[in-house]
Structure 1
Amino acid sequence: MTSMIDVVFLLLVFFVWTSSFDAPEKDLPGNIAIATEASVSTSESPDQVTQSIESPVSELLLRIQTTSSSNIQYLLGTTSLATLSDLQNRLVAIAELDLAPTIIVDPDDSVSMAQTIEVLDLLRTNGFTDSFLAVEPSAPTPSM
C-alpha cells in the first residue's frame, strides 16, 4: 500500500511540474491555417490571399507628449492628435469598428498624472476596458 501511495505522489509531482498555469494572452485566430489554405488553392489572386491573411489590430500604443509650446500631443499608433476631443473622436471611430484592441498609454516624464488619468478615464468611458499604463521601473536604491 505504501508503494502505491509513493507512485501516486510521483505522478502528482510529475503532472504539476509539466503542466502550464499561464493563461493565454489573447485568443486570436492564427494566420497559419489561412495561409496554408490560400497557398493550396491556385484560383485566388495574390491580392485576395493577402486580404484574407491580414488580421485586425490587437494592440495600440497611445503616447502622451508635451510639445515645445507646453501643449499636450496625443500619438495613437501613427496618428498625431492635438486635442483631447480629437482623441475621443478617434476612439469612438475605433469602437464603432468592434476591434476592441488593447491600448497601452505611455506618457512622457513631463506629462502630469492628472492628464494621464484623464486619458485613462476617456478610454474607459469609450468602452476600452483593456487599457493599461506603461511605466518604467525605478532604479534600485543602493543598500548600505
Structure 2
Amino acid sequence: MNKMEIHEALMNYKWMINVLVTKRQEMTGASQAMVSKYGIEATLPSSDSTPSDPVYNEMLRIDRYDKNTKNLQRKVSFIQRHSAGITDIKDQIILDELLNGKTLRRISREHHLSVAAVKRRKDHIIEEMHLNAECEQYVQT
C-alpha cells in the first residue's frame, strides 16, 4: 500500500470494521424486492440489458459485495499488522484515537494539542507504517 492508501485506510478504519461486522451478521435475505409483472407488461421485452433472472442478479450482487469485503479485510489487516510497529507512546495514543474514528480536531481538543501537531503525528504514523510495509516486502523477496 502506498502512503495515500494507508492514510485513507486509517481515516476509514472504524467504518471498515463496522462494515465487516455487519457483513458477518447479515448475508441472509434478499437485497431487492423481486416483483413479477402482470398483464401486457409481462409479455413485453425488458428495456434492461441485464438478465432478468433474480437469482442470477442476487449472485452477482453477493459476488461484488464479497470482492469489496475482501478488499476491506486486506486494508484492515494491513493496519492491524503494522500498528504494532508504532513505538512512540504519543503516536500509539493518536493511532488508537484515529482507529476509534475520532477526527483530528477532536483528538487535538481532548489531548490538548494543536491540530497541526496531531496531523504531524498522523503523518509520522503513516510514514512508519509505510516503511514497515516496505521492509516486510523486501524481506519476503
Q: Same-fold call, TM > 0.5? A: no
Larger fraction in helix: 2
TM-score by structure 2 length?
Answer: 0.25
Structure richer in strand, relative to its length: 1
Between the two structures, name the one with larger relative contact order (CA 8 Å, sep ≥ 6). Answer: 2
TM-score by length of 1: 0.24
